[in-house]
Amino acid sequence: MNIGILALQGAFAAHRRVLVGLGASVTLVRTPVDLSSIDGLVIPGGESTTMSMLLDSSGLRQPLSDRIKSGLPVFGTCAGLIVLANEIVDGRSDQLPLDAIDVKARRNGYGRQIDSFETSLEIIDGLNEYHMNGVFIRAPRVESTTANVEILAQVDGDPVLIRERNVLAATFHPELGDSPCVHEMFLKMVAMSCDGTAQFEQVRS
């Protein structure tokens, strides 16, 4: 199982540490060719406006969007969630999201850098329950989702960890927390997609 980490910009090194610690092999993704060997992709935190620009200049936008639509498991954190959203509030006018998950995300929805915070999270995924600290750094706020989207964790009523079919997304930074549980959840999604027990191939309406 080979996990790609989008490494155009942002916090990709910490994701690599966690994934390697869990025994995954990792490819840093910077060009369309890098997509060919991966079974899943992490889109890290960073600056979503810059990432959006670099998706275009690297030529990755269309091939990545096609892979996600055909079922590639993808895990976006913080700026990565914004990149995957179907609607961005307070984005830059030329910032185009990938429209991979039915979520309306407000950039810097909790305020500026100084309003960054940490809190304990309870994550419920079916019968499994996990606990970890959530690190929120200029985090987006989820303003709305549709019924297609599962809410796996919330803070004060705001969804902070969500999943729609092959797309998992967190408004916080799981790679900076005290447990690798969210990365483990993602690796399970990738394993299920690799062995065919998950059917993610439906195209979103």
- Locate all alpha helices (DSSP H) within the chain, ordered by sequence: 12-21, 48-57, 61-69, 79-84, 181-194
Record the tokens describing residue 148, joined without a space. 């297609």
Contact between 47 and ligand GLN (CB under 6 A)?
A: yes
CA-CA distance, 183 to 174, in Å (whole number)? Answer: 8
Please list the residues that pair with 145 across neighbouring strands.
103
Candidates 40, 45, 159, 174: give the one binding ligand GLN (CB under 6 A): 45
Contact pattern from residue 119 through residue 138 relative to ligand GLN, giving x for each residue in contact according to CB under 6 A and a dash for the rest: ------------------xx
CA-CA distance, 184 to 172, in Å (whole number)? Answer: 16
Q: In degrees to the nearest 10, what's the CA dihedral of 27, 30, 35, 37?
A: -30
Contact between 105 and ligand GLN (CB under 6 A)?
A: no
What does the buried/exposed string (b/e) look like for 81-110 if buried means 16 or more CB atoms within 10 Å of the residue's CB? Answer: bbbbbbebbebeeebebbebbbbbbbbbbb
78 is catalytic: yes
Contact 84, 98 (CB under 8 A): yes
Candidates 8, 74, 79, 182: give the one binding ligand GLN (CB under 6 A): 79
87 is catalytic: no
Count of residues that interact with ligand GLN, criterion CB under 6 A = 11
Contact between 108 and ligand GLN (CB under 6 A)?
A: yes
Catalytic residue among 78, 164, 181, 183: 78
Q: In degrees to the nearest 10, what's the CA dihedral of 181, 52, 11, 59?
A: 100
Contact between 14 and ligand GLN (CB under 6 A)?
A: no
Applying CB under 6 A, which part among 25-33, 59-67, 76-84, 189-197 lies near ligand GLN?
A: 76-84
122 is catalytic: no
Applying CB under 6 A, which part among 45-53, 68-76, 96-104, 141-149 lies near ligand GLN?
A: 45-53
Active site residues: 78, 173, 175
Binding residues for ligand GLN, per CB under 6 A? 45-48, 78-79, 82, 107-108, 137-138
